Every structure is written in structure tokens, then in C-alpha cells.
Structure 1
Amino acid sequence: MSQDLSRIRAFVQVFDAGGFSAAARQHGRSKALLSKYVTDLEDYLGVRLMNRTTRKLGLTEAGEAYYREASQLLMQLDELDATISDQTAEPRGLVRVSAPRNLGETTLAPAVFSFMQSNPMISVDLRLEDRFVDLVEEGIDVALRITTLADSSLIARKISDIKHLVCASPELVAKHGMPTSGEELRNMPCIVDTNMPSHNSWRFIEDGKVMSVHVSGPARVNSPVAAMQAALHGLGFAVLPVYLAEPHFAAGRLVSVLEDRMPEGPSLTAVYPHRRHLAGKVRALIDHLVHWFETQPLR
């Protein structure tokens, strides 16, 4: 069986490289051995797979069909080998991670650095920026996003729930009153965070049903930290993740409203490109984050 695979692999390598000499250089094997393997494969199959000339190498019709299936088979076998190796080997190598800046600086970085302490063969390139990066184009292994992902080109795994609340300064509540329903916010100043999926359509639970309320106000921002600062300055009500707002609740600088009317919001999600094989180092990081936030939840 191993000899059969060597013949098949030689055939695929020769065609991918564009010739026997190039394949020999790329894979450190002799040109004569590669030629023998391809000839042996053709003899075994009883059909010519390649048309060879001194200047050009091409596939016959049978060769094209065989190449399609053989290259797919070899890729699956290589991925299987890598999967087994990753399961038994210590995680190692560089992991490129993308995450929102405020989440990364306040909450995510300690979890990632804890993972690095436990896995000394791992290095991390942590990129904190408030935009949706193109994972494939920018070579990102995994992105941590606060989202309700609906992108079929990516695979998603939930890391943790993230609770969001409507927040305001006590001075703003004293001036405009404490809202008793989401509907009342239509006529009150609100801070719109354009990074939120719903932007200025905030969702609330009324009479057991989820309803959307269109809000507006004096400031539009694209950062939850900026939205929080606007709320602290008394400019309007803002929807904020609790992990950001909680220190200000404790200090009395912010109060939460309509807590019992808030539906389930977006979660912290790990997303990565759709591949059959997920590198063990990336899987290990994701597993670590899931465990980390189970014991230290994002409230």
C-alpha cells in the first residue's frame, strides 16, 4: 500500500511541478525515481496518464480524471496525518489572533497570555482593532468577535455569553426620567454605536415578545468605549457590555435601566476560515478561552 501511495504521490507531484526535473528539485527525490514511479503507476492502471515531450508535459484525458481524484485523496490523507499529529503533539508555532480593541485590552489579553504561559512553544500575534478583518486575505488564524455570526464562509464557536444593558448617568435619568419600557426611548436622547449589528434599532422584550425600537440622539460612535464615555458625560442612554460598564455602576457614575426587558444579545465568538483541518494550536487556544470564560464569565 505504501508503494502504491508513493506512485500516486509522484504522479501528482510531477504534474503540480510542471515536470520531472522540477518535482525532483522541490521534493528532494531523483528524477529517475519519479519517472519510474509514474511509469509503474501507468503500467498498473494499464493506461497512459501523461504525454511527455522534451518541452512540455500534459495529462491525457484519463490522466486528468485520475489527477482530480488522486490529488483530493492525498490532501485528505495529509490532513488526517496532521490531525493525529496535532492531537498528540504539544501545541507550537505562531497563532495570529484578531479581536476588538476594548475587549482585547480589558478582558481578552489576560486569557490569551494565560494560554501562552501554559504552552511555552506557542507565540501569539494579537491584533486589536475595531473592524471585521478578512481572515483569509490577512492570514488570521482565528478572530474573536462580539456578534451573531451568519457568514457561511466561516466556522464559528461560541466562547461566552456577553450581557448588554441600557446605561445612563444619574444626571440624565434625573433630567429625562427613568424609562419603564423600551418604547419610551424613542423620545429620549440615545447614543448610537454603529458597531452594534442593530445600530439604532434597539431590541426589548415587551409582553413576552421581542420588539425593535428606533432610537436617535446627539452622538453616533463606532466604539463601545466611546459610547460609554458619552453616557458618562450625560449625553444619552447607551447599550453597553456589562464588562465595560460594571466599574461605573459600582462607583455610581452609571445606572442601568430596563434590565428585565433586555433580550439575549450577541456573544463572544471565535471564527475561523472553513477548513477540513483546524490546526491543533488554534484548537488548543479556543478550548482554553472557552474554559477561561466558563470560570471567569463575561458578566
Structure 2
Amino acid sequence: MLNQKLIALLPDLASFILVVNEGSFTGAARKLGVTPSALSKTITRLESALNVKLFERTTRKLIITQAGLKVFDQSVLMVNAAQQAVDLSLSDHSEPSGTLTVAAPEAFLNSVLQPFVLPFLKQYPEIQLKLRAADGNIDLLKMGIDIAFKLTDKPDELLVLKKVGETNLVLCASPAYISEHGTPLTPQDLEHHDCLYLAETETDNIWDFFKGDEFYTIPVHGRYAVNHSQMRLQGVKEGLGIGIFHDFVIGEALEKGEVIQVLTDWTLKSNYHGDIALQYPQSKYIPARLRVFIDYVMATLPSKLARASS
């Protein structure tokens, strides 16, 4: 049974989650329609009720404490359960509705999802869709994400997995660059070329190549590195060097002859190589808006991706 103290804390816990997600009292207060000082008093009241310090407050930063992290994790589970109860009460509606938050890597979001989701929104006018660019490992619950696309050969085992397709990495250069600098015939040849890479981590300029039993790890260099696929593609088109791309990003430019693929007989691997996975938290109840989105993706996207990579 819920006691009165817990019932009184529920709104404050929800406000606490919003402060953590926004990273500031100002941002959270704006969304709640209250003043930052009023929200600060709410968190102080919550700290007093729980007898823990949730934040370290400075003039520049708001840092969640270790105790605050534990409270946050449990609060998220509680709010998600409350949301499921609300969704269940609305499930008899004929039209799926509500907000659906979808995360995907930047390159996939721009090249695949942006045009893909527009027909979905027209088909389901009562659904509000939020798309977030999110590369690398993400915590769906903490970030308030309903479902995520991941490019990986190591999906999260704690989440439900639906394989949408596969993605390969492609090396390309402009015809002008190849004409001036020549075509690399082996991975080792890249050490004598300008290369465009992601520049997200310290190892993004280390490329692994496979062909049968052969394996090479090649450190590449270049004057231009950027973790935005379209900016990197533009750099390659302008002749700045040899760039690395997902097949769904580079397919159109290859068809138009704007770029030329190199080292076609080698397989290139990175952190974003392998399956295109659709993942979401396990639950006995799936909201209608999430269910229709999954069905839409699985019915439409695999064939589109297969055409893009062929």
C-alpha cells in the first residue's frame, strides 16, 4: 500500500528527473512553467524528505551526487511504470497517440530516418515524434528514450533486439583526387594519402582491414577530420582526401559518379560496423505508439536499406 508520504513525494521525484535530464534548474523550470527558485525549493524539500543530498550546487555547475544517482535510477523506473499505466488506460483508443522518443546515430538519422519518418507521421497524426542524434552507448531509461537504432555487432543484451539490416563501411575519394594522387591498391598505401575520419575518439584514425586471413591495422592522417557524415562527404567531394562512410550515406554519391570507391576487396571495421539494430526496454506492455512504430520500421526499412547497400 502507498503511504501518504510517498504519494506527496511523487511530483517532486518527477521534477527531480527533469532537472537531471536538463542539467539545470533553469531548463527544467522552463519546461515545468515555474521559476528556477521555486524548483530549487522543490528539490530542497525532496532532499529533506529523503534525508539525502541530491546535488552539489556551484555557481557554474549542477552535479548529481552518488546518492542522487541511486534515487534517479529508481525514480525513472517509477515514472516509466506510471507512464505505462497511463498508456494502458488509453489503449482502447482507436488511434495510437502520445510522444515517442527515438534515438539514432547522426549519420543514420540524416541519411535514413529523416525522409523515412515523414510518411509515418502522416499515417499516425496523433503521435508526436522526437528524434535525437545519439552516437555510441546510450542509456535509454536515463535519457528518456523509448527506442533506439544502433549500428553495432555487439547489441545490448538487456534490451529487446530487432535486426533491421546490416551496414558496411566504404572508402571513397573524388575522381579529381584519384587523378592527382593515384588509387591506393593496399591498406598500407593509405599512409601516403590524406584521409578524412570521424575524430570522435582517439582511435578513430586507426582503421582495421580484413581480407580472408589477412589483417592490417593502419593509422591514417589528414588535414580534415569531422564527426558529421555530410560534412565529411562534402570534404571528399571537394578533393580533400579519402573518406570513410556507411554504405547508406555514400550510395547516392557513388551512383552519380561524384565519388569513387577504393580498396573494394577489403573489409573495413570500426565501432559502428555490423548490424542495424532496433532496441528498446523489455516490458510486458508495449504502448500502441511504440508498437506501430516497430511494425512500420520492420515492414518498410529493411528493403530500403538492402537497396541502399546493393
Name the TM-score class by shorter chain.
Answer: 0.5 to 0.7
- Matched residue type, 1:119: Y
* Structure 1 position 291, deviation (Å): 1.9
| Contact 1:101-1:129 within 8 A present in 2 as well | yes
> How far 1:151 sits from its partner (Å)?
4.2
Matched AA of 2:179: A
Instruction: Provide the residue aligned with 1:161 in structure 2.
Output: 166
SS at the partner of 1:172?
A: helix
Partner SS state of residue 144, structure 1: strand
- 1:86 and 1:195 mapped to 2: Cα distance? 42
The answer for the alignment partner of 2:71 in structure 1 is: none
Alignment of 1:41-52 (within 5 A): none
Q: Is 1:266 the counterpart of 2:266 in the alignment?
A: no
Q: 1:142 & 1:198 partners in 2: Cα distance?
A: 28
Give the match for residue 127 of structure 1.
132
Residue correspondences, number: 232
> CA deviation digits over 1:122-171, x for unaligned, max 9?
22122346676543233221122333445455444322222321000112
C-alpha contact (below 8 Å) 1:210/1:263 kept by paired residues:
no
Choose from 176, 179, 183 the match for 1:171.
176
What is the CA–CA distance in structure 2 between the aligned matches of 1:109 and 1:121, rounded to whole Å? 19
- C-alpha change, 1:104 and 1:87, in structure 2 (3 Å) is farther
Q: Distance in 1 between matches of 2:261 and 2:292?
A: 37
SS of equivalent residue, structure 2 residue 131: strand
**2:97 paired with 1:92:** yes
Aligned residue number for residue 56 of structure 1 = none
After superposition, the Cα gap between the structure-2 partners of 1:163 and 1:118, relative to the gap in structure 1 and judged at 3 Å, is same
Alignment of 1:15-164 (within 5 A): 15=3, 17-18=4-5, 91-128=96-133, 134-152=139-157, 154-164=159-169
Aligned equivalents of 2:128, 2:239: Cα separation in 1: 43
Aligned identity (percent) is 24
Partner of 1:281: 289
Query: Residues 89 and 250 (structure 1 numbering): CA distance in 2 closer, same or farther, change over 3 Å?
Result: same
Amino acid at match of 2:298: V
Partner of 1:5: none
Equivalent residue letter for 2:296: H
Say if 2:199 is the partner of 1:194: yes
Could you tell me how far apart the structure 2 residues matched to 1:203 and 1:288 are? 35
> Retained in 2: the 8 A contact 1:130–1:223?
no
**Distance of 1:244 and 1:197 partners within structure 2:** 23
Which residue identity does 1:272 align to in structure 2?
A: Y
The equivalent residue for 2:209 is 204
Q: List gaps (5 residues or longer) in structure 1.
A: 1-11, 23-75
Which of the residues 212, 236, 243 maps onto 2:241? 236
Q: CA deviation at 1:212?
A: 2.7
Distance between the aligned counterparts of 1:132 and 1:102, measured in 2?
A: 15
Q: What is the aligned-residue RMSD (CA, Å)?
A: 3.8
**Structure 2: which 5+ runs fail to align?**
9-80
Greater gyration radius: 1
- Say which of 218, 222, 229 aligns to 1:217: 222
Q: Aligned residue for 1:72?
A: none
**Cα distance in 1, alignment partners of residues 212 and 165 from structure 2:** 27
Do residues 247 (structure 1) and 255 (structure 2) align? Answer: no
Q: 2:237 matched to 1:227? A: no
Distance in 1 separating the partners of 2:197 and 2:245: 11
CA 191–263 in structure 1, closer or farther in 2 if over 3 Å, else same:
closer
**Partner SS for 2:207:** strand
In structure 1, distance between residues paired with 2:124 and 2:168: 30
Would the aligned equivalents of 2:155 and 2:277 in 1 still touch at CA under 8 Å? no
Question: Given the superposition, is the C-alpha separation of residues 117 and 212 from structure 1 closer, same or farther in structure 2, using an over 3 Å criterion?
Answer: same
